[in-house]
Amino acid sequence: MPLFKIGDHVERIGVLAPDRMKSGRILRVIPHNGISELMNEYVVAFEFGTVKLYGTQLRLLAEDRTDAGSVGRDRD
């Protein structure tokens, strides 16, 4: 199972990531047929272009982490 899905807002991690290519959206998931999910590739659309990256080069941005449900939401 891939770490990210199409439409996820991700951040490119690492010291070599240019500022204009830090945050983008997953356009395509290319699964790896081996054992490790970390080898899956992702096509990511950034402001200044599209790049294919491995899952180890990306992290999901906090705004897309909906696993917690309503935890932390303001109450009326």
- Total domains, the chain: 1
Q: Is the pTM of this model over 0.75?
A: no
Is the residue at 59 inside a domain?
yes
- Distance, CA of 36 to CA of 48 (rounded, Å): 30
**What are the two backbone dihedrals, phi and then psi, of residue 8, each rounded to the nearest 5 degrees?**
-60, 140
DSSP classification of residue 71: T
pLDDT computed for residue 25 by the predictor: 96
Is the residue at 3 inside a domain?
no
Mean pLDDT of 39-62: 91
Is the residue at 32 inside a domain?
yes
Is the residue at 17 inside a domain?
yes
pLDDT computed for residue 37 by the predictor: 66
Task: Give the structural domain span for 26.
Answer: 9-64
* pLDDT tens digits for range 1-47: 788 999 999 999 877 777 788 899 999 999 887 767 668 999 999 98
Task: Please give the residue that has the higher pLDDT: either 52 or 37.
Answer: 52
Q: Which residues contact 7 (CB under 8 A, 6 or more apart)?
A: 25, 26
Is the residue at 38 inside a domain?
yes
The answer to whether 12 and 24 have CB atoms below 8 angstroms apart is yes
